[in-house]
Structure 1
Amino acid sequence: MDTHVIEARGLSKRYGATTAVDRLDFRVEPGRVTGFLGPNGAGKSTTMRMILGLDLPTSGSVLVNGRDYQGIVWPLHEIGALLDARAVHPGRTAYRHLHSLAAANGIPRPRVDAVLEQVGLTSVAHRRVGGFSLGMSQRLGIAGALLGDPGILLFDEPVNGLDPDGILWIRTLMRSLAAEGRTVLVSSHLMSEMALTADHLLVIGEGRLLADTSLDELIARGAGDRVEVRAVERARLAAELREVGAEVTLEPDGTLQVTGVGSAAIGELAAARGHVLHQLRDVTSSLEEAYFRLTEGSVVYRAPVPA
């Protein structure tokens, strides 16, 4: 039996005439943080709910450690999940909320104190959850996910409401959990954070799988590197670069953004034709650029661009 593995096979979910998830095939492996990316309405939350057995697939299957998650007797020992930080009775204290989860899953009471300490909520453990900020609620949800010391962790937008210190903390936590050999699947819309956190990426759009690849491979495949050039005669240089097949964009600050020709070739052309260069710099494209190129045809909710 696979340990700490989530596997989807032809996973689909339809609501009437709407297809939310469309024949997904993927494996989420232990020992790495897997980022789960996609535009709003892409099917990320629906997929996570099907992993946890909260929604049933219309067709296909998703297995946790080789079996259906619904049949697991002590679920929090297998998967810890944070899907909705506000899904807690507001009249309960943080301690009582976690204690009820622990009691239902055969988890010793000292573990409640341990996870409260781990997420930094010990000082507010006996405050009612209804008075918590979103960031505090996120920390409580993460404590609940960690409660059973599971081998698999699912986090849906875990940095929402966290301050910079909290974002750094959750990033470090996720990477340390993966380093222990656990499986970590995290959805986020923050590309800059995923670039610092994820090792592997699953990207979906309109319910379909667009990419199942490492972070580095997606950036290299989807973005394309460019060169920034500053020259005294920028208009002439731009025309000469286009003559040799480059794509050149003149930025408002006078910088030329060049793709299709490498920096070495640009330098040689400039030297041969008497150009004075003030800058010649390779620019590696970002995860955000690669993501937008990959998903540009899959955005469901798009606002008009201001004039």
Structure 2
Amino acid sequence: MDDFIHFDNVSKYFGDNAALEKVCFKIKKNSIVGLLGPNGSGKSTLMRILSGLIISWDGDIYLEGDSIRGSNTMLKRSGFLIEDPSFYEYLTAQQNLTMFSRLTNTDPVEIKKVLKKVDLLNEKDKKVSEYSYGMKQRLGIAQAILHDPDILFFDEPNNGLDPNGISTMNQTMDNLNKEGKTIFISTHILEHVKELCTHVIVLRDGKLVLDESMEDLIKNEDRYIIKLNNTQIAIDKLKLHSAIKVVDSNEKKIIVKSTLSIHDIVSIIPLESEINSISRDPNISRLFR
């Protein structure tokens, strides 16, 4: 996959406060990228820059090698689903999309096509006020893809959805990706990203702290850090098990890679090793902070 979007030392200051500070990463074409981070991490600022709501920032953002600064190319080629999308509640889904098609100069013939893609074609004549929250989210996707953009930016698309709603939303996004669309998802829930994304970006305090493929991230998910008083006895026992690989160790710590549960690993280690703690590799756990 080729580099599609390139964030080059992107910074944004509000007074003396850095909402983003020299953020650098690349998005591959036809990938699904998850943007994670706690409140105040800079996710919202980054999304507002991409959507054109913030027009002044330091550094640059390139779309297929061309700077988007002072250009509306990114907006023309993008579709956005904001958290809690708003519609005219007294109008039907079809009527709402008809109004939007006029604003974007889109052929109304596309309306039924996009409603079918989000599984709302049979509900097109219902007023939006009768829609569930999940249906409104899917209608938001229909609006975002109506003008056939090749980049989609979704802000917390699974927020407020039940498990069935999350499954439906993820399937919709996966189908759009299979059509060739590049998808960028802002979320604070790792499990939602894990099910869908090919790549993960994590921001904290406006800085990039992780830029990794989901494949590599999952490879590290079965890593554990064991802190104990006698490592050698434990290492000797652990090495006897084919399901455990000792990755690294020192006098007080062992790092292992294993598909076993924490309980099973602990049961293998002799009592005289005096375990103090066992936890997942912080490379994974820090995503939840």
Partner Cα distance (1:50, 1:263) in 2: 40
Coordinate RMSD, CA, aligned:
3.8
Alpha-carbon distance between aligned partners in 1 of 2:146 and 2:26, rounded to the nearest angstrom: 24
SS in 2 for 1:34: strand
Per the TM alignment, residue 197 of structure 1 is displaced from its structure 2 partner at its CA by: 0.8
Q: What do the CA deviations read for 1:189-238 (whole angstroms, capped 9, x no partner)? A: 221221111111111101111111112323445x662399xxxxxxxxx9
- Of stretches 209-218 and 157-166 in structure 1, the one that deviates more from structure 2 is 157-166
Partner of 2:154: 155
Residue 131 of structure 1 deviates from its aligned partner by 4.6
- After TM superposition, list the pairs within 5 Å mapping 1:67-82 onto structure 2: 67-68=67-68, 71-72=71-72, 75-76=75-76, 78-82=77-81
After superposition, the Cα gap between the structure-2 partners of 1:69 and 1:136, relative to the gap in structure 1 and judged at 3 Å, is farther
Partner of 1:98: 97
Structure 1 residue 8: Cα displacement: 1.5
Q: Distance in 2 between matches of 1:37 and 1:122?
A: 32
Q: Which has the higher strand share?
A: 2
Looking at structure 1, the residues matched to 51 and 171 of structure 2 have their Cα atoms a distance apart, in angstroms, of: 25
Partner of 2:145: 146
Alignment partners' CA distance in 2, 1:245 and 1:92: 71
Q: Give 2:10's aligned residue.
A: 11
Correspondence 1:174 to 2:173: yes
Paired position in structure 2 for 1:251: none
Q: Secondary structure of the equivalent of 1:61? A: strand
Percent identity of equivalent pairs = 29
Question: 1:86 maps to what in 2?
Answer: 85
Q: 2:286 aligns with which of 289, 293, 301?
A: 293
Is this contact kept in 1: 2:36–2:287, CA < 8 A?
no
Tell me, in whole angstroms, the C-alpha distance in 1 between the residues paired with 2:69 and 2:147: 15
CA–CA separation in structure 2 for the residues paired with 1:261 and 1:15: 42
1:225 is aligned, of 223, 246, 252, to 223
- The AA in structure 2 aligned to 1:63 is Y
Map 1:1-307 → 2, pairs under 5 A: 5-65=4-64, 66-68=66-68, 71-72=71-72, 75-76=75-76, 78-220=77-219, 225-226=223-224, 242-244=230-232, 260=254, 262=256, 290-293=283-286, 296=289
Is the 8 Å Cα contact of residues 79 and 149 (structure 2) preserved in structure 1?
A: yes
The number of residues matched between the two structures is 260
Structure 2, unpaired ranges of 5+: 236-245, 247-252, 259-263, 273-277
Structure 1 moving runs of 4+ over 6 Å: none
Q: Is the 8 A contact 1:80 1:150 kept in 2?
A: yes
The residue aligned with 2:239 is: none
